[in-house]
A and B are shown apart, each in its own frame.
Chain A
Amino acid sequence: MNDIMRMKRRTFLAGSAAAIGAAGLPSLAFGAEEITFWDMVWGASGYTDAAREVALAYEPAAGLGEVSYQSIPWANWYQTFTSAAASRTTPAVSSGAAFLPFYFMEQGVMIPADNLVSKLDAAGKNDFLPGLLDAMTTHDGIAAMPWSMDLRVLWYRRSLLEKAGADVPTDWDSYIAAGEKLAKIGAVGLGIAASSTTTDAKHTISALMINNGGGFFAEDGSLDCVNDRNIETLEFLKECVAKKIIDPYAISYNSDNVETDWINGHIAMGFGQTGMDRIVPESERDDLQVANPILGPHGDKGTVYYINPLMMFDTTPSQDSSEAFLEYYLDNIKAYWETGVITDLPVKRSIAELPVIQNNPKLVLAINEWQPHGKTIAAQSNEAFGALNAVDGGNATATFAQRIVEGKSDSRKLLEDLQGQLEKIMN
């Protein structure tokens, strides 16, 4: 309600400014065009209200445009953005899915963030966690600004492990051992959702591949699915399926199904977002714990993360306005973590050091132990690229994940098929 009042006030002010301008009286607001900020729904119901508040509290310097806030639903986000880009109706700035900026960079509808990064450097505000700006860098420049991170960590339910007499796993062998004990009491040892409408299972598979020093790509960015490390990872997953550590029902699970199973205590272990414990009532939150990173068969640590970007489009009325707003926004997003409306991790050291984060041992563990070993699904490539959208959201990887849960196919054959299909969509 407050927002609506504020909106009304602002439009009234804008209207009166226009009236003054029209009357030929000088006015500061005159000539600076408003810019639009699109934002996805990044957290529980309170997030959008909080984000709108931050965006609308922005007061531009003289000659720069004000900001209007627009919440964009996740459903069919790709259609939303591509249709906007095709019709040149993209906003000035926008948050979005992790690999969208790389695709748009290649399509030439965005403005790189290098200039903004040098502004932050000059102001001493460049405190992004190590590796993140590098991950956003392409040969055309920095594709977008990182602002938060979806990092996958291994969660477990303490009470279920105790009930099964299992220890918290430290490597793949002990993971299988714990999973077998959990299966005996009817609990799921690796909770995933592999339906074609979600990317959850793909994320877990990627996390395990990276955990074993593998991934879909070679260092030069070419496809490299069929390698020994990946085959080893698939063999591990096959064993999980055979020993009922992965629920056969999971092949058709959507994100709601897997969440419900976590809440009801059917799942004992699995990869999930940092902050996932907030889906259970306060009284049970202590029962859900983050494990230390587990060691792969060759002693590697690793997991997958997605860097949430802030993009700047070339449809902005003024690039200076876009950059000024983003600079302000990056300074003020800490409110989301202070009020707890967001599940993802911060990417700036100044936010990571906030008491609200430092007093949460699970988040500290995620930031200190897991994040340094994280990679994107571009692993082991050194640079991200637009085709990752299709790799992450496409049919090929969805079918790949489902065939893994089926547990009927030969691991090498699965990877060869995947490589063949990815070659087709990556042209």
Chain B
Amino acid sequence: MSVNPAVSRKARQRATMGLIRLLAACVITAVLLTPILAVFWLSLRPRLYSDIVGPTLDNFRYIFVNTNVLTWTVNSLSVALFATVASLLVAAPAGYVLSRAKGRIVSIYAMSIFVIQSFPVVVFVIPLFVMFAAVHLVDTLAGVAIIYVATSVSVACWMMSAYFDTIPKELEEAAWIDGCSVLSAFVRIVLRNSLPGILSTAIYSFLLAWNDYLIALVFLRSDSNFTLPIGLQTFFQQNQTDWGPVMACAVIMLLPPVLVFAFLNRFFSIGGVGGALAGK
């Protein structure tokens, strides 16, 4: 590898800059992630009423032996994935309408999507529960997933619509002239070019479902149906909490989304929607 000195000096400079930035990134990340590191540390705390002193992996042994943590993880994942897919199925067509159609009815439709998003879900839990009990959706993962779709759908519609705005409509119109129906033009041309938007929306819906605890708490009853955040609740006693296993569960809970993100990150740069909004 013989290179001329000027280039190698430049390369060295760039490498030094890279190292300085790497150092800065490490410091920033360490500071920002302190509370999460604390969770890892707390997961090593001995359990209540145990005679172990000092850090221990006992909590992890305990939750795998004595609780349904695996079932909870599977439930959480399946609910979140179902909610994500369903939310996309509802939001993508709706977003297309918001993006392409004009007129008074469409504005009213856009506005109601908007207003619905402003209601805090906390207060409507009881009427929802009564309604779901009537159709036997209480204590089912499907019932919880449906509510997640409903709570994420308005922002999802927006995100999708913003992305469709960046796709020139001349493409569809050309397709129509070629005899494509609106539906097939939407699927074949618009959706096929919207992967970043779809992924961003999926991430939003997934995280909303994955992290919720209020709705699952009210709607889920049986241990075999618990999602992870509710599984955590089984360690909370009347006036005490067994924090060790809670934090161990929390560590388990961290892993799937982190892996999902790490994996997706190679395929696209996060934030397709921000880009969609900035363009045009």
Contacts and interface: CB of A to CB of B under 8 A. Distances in A.
B212 interface: no
Given A41-B238, A42-B237, A86-B129, A76 B217 contact: yes
Given A83-B218, A87-B138, A89-B138, A75 B126 contact: no
A255 B133 contact: no
Contacts of B245: 45
Interface stretch (A18-26, A225-233, A274-282, A347-355): A274-282
Given A41-B237, A73-B236, A83 B221 contact: no
B63 to A, nearest CB: 10
A36 B263 CA distance: 44
B240 A343 contact: yes
Given A48-B234, A73-B234, A83-B130, A150 B221 contact: no
B233 interface: yes
Contacts of B130: 83, 86-87
B53 A45 contact: no
Interface string A81-93: 0111011110000
Contacts of B242: 44-45
Contact of A71 (B51, B217, B234): B234
B10 to A, nearest CB: 55
B125 interface: yes
Chain A contact residues: helix, strand, loop or mixed: mixed
Contacts of A89: 133, 138
A220 interface: no
A200 interface: yes
Nearest to B231: A73
A180 interface: no
A64 B91 CA distance: 51
B234 to A, nearest CB: 6
The residue among A49, A87, A256, A281 with the most chain B CB atoms within 10 A of its own CB is A87
The residue among B130, B132, B245 with the most chain A CB atoms within 10 A of its own CB is B130
A41 B234 contact: yes
A87 B238 contact: no
B241 interface: yes
Contact of A150 (B138, B214, B238): B238
A49 B67 CA distance: 10
A278 B217 CA distance: 29
Nearest to A3: B223
B236 A83 contact: no
B222 interface: yes
Interface in B91-141: 125-126, 129-130, 132-134, 138
A70 to B, nearest CB: 6
B237 A83 contact: no
A159 interface: no
Interface string A61-103: 0000000001111111001101110111100000000000000
A83 B51 contact: no
Contact of A70 (B49, B222, B243): B222
A368 interface: no
Contacts of B53: 281
Residues of A in contact with B, size category:
35 or more
A278 B237 contact: no
A250 B245 CA distance: 25
B109 to A, nearest CB: 31
Interface in B232-280: 233-243, 245
A43 B217 CA distance: 20
B238 A70 contact: no
B142 interface: no
A186 B233 CA distance: 34
A314 interface: no
A273 interface: yes
A75 B217 contact: yes
Interface of B: 47-51, 53, 62, 66, 125-126, 129-130, 132-134, 138, 214, 217-218, 221-223, 230, 233-243, 245
28 contacts: A41-B236, A42-B238, A44-B240, A44-B242, A45-B62, A45-B235, A45-B242, A47-B237, A48-B234, A70-B222, A71-B223, A73-B217, A74-B236, A74-B237, A75-B236, A76-B214, A79-B218, A80-B217, A82-B126, A83-B126, A89-B133, A150-B239, A255-B239, A255-B241, A259-B240, A273-B239, A279-B240, A343-B240
Given A75-B233, A80-B218, 15 more contacts: A43-B237, A45-B235, A73-B217, A75-B236, A76-B218, A83-B126, A83-B218, A88-B133, A89-B133, A89-B138, A198-B239, A256-B241, A273-B239, A279-B240, A281-B51
